[in-house]
Amino acid sequence: MRILKSAALILGLTFLPLPATAQGMPPEQIKQILDLTKANWVAFRDWQGQELIYFTHLEAWKCGIDYVFYGLNGGPMDQVWELDSCDPDSPNAVLKEKPYLERPDGSTQSISVQLIFPDGTKSAVETFLYKP
């Protein structure tokens, strides 16, 4: 039911008269989509003795994000995930060869992420726990 409400909200927002971005969506709509999908900002995977932290979802919305700051294991939010450049012809395409961080097995307990938007506003800091 929550997914249906979220989808209805997103669809309803498409009729708001706001300036469009390269993704053809108003900046406020992109921020709302990212807020509604914050549980998907990062994903974890064990792979061949490493921990991979994927930023694929954020790469797909890169045209609506200026910066992605992150911190690992409760540390300071002083690292930057470098998003690919926005391509207005394919704004949601994820073409980065490695849209993930590679970490040694057993080294990650959590990652905290904060987004900075083109209008200068910041998202709340979201913390994701790694559960192998």
pLDDT score recorded for residue 23: 53
Beta carbons within 8 Å of 52's beta carbon, 6+ residues apart: 44, 45, 46, 100, 101, 102, 103
Total domains in the chain come to 1
Tokens found for residue 3: 């997914």
Nearest to 52, CA basis, from 120, 130, 115, 125 = 130
From first to last of the 132 residues of the chain, give the pLDDT tens digit: 544 444 444 444 444 333 344 456 777 888 999 999 999 999 999 998 999 999 999 999 999 999 999 999 999 999 999 999 988 888 889 999 999 999 999 999 999 999 999 999 999 999 999 987
Segments forming the whole domain that contains residue 23: 2-129
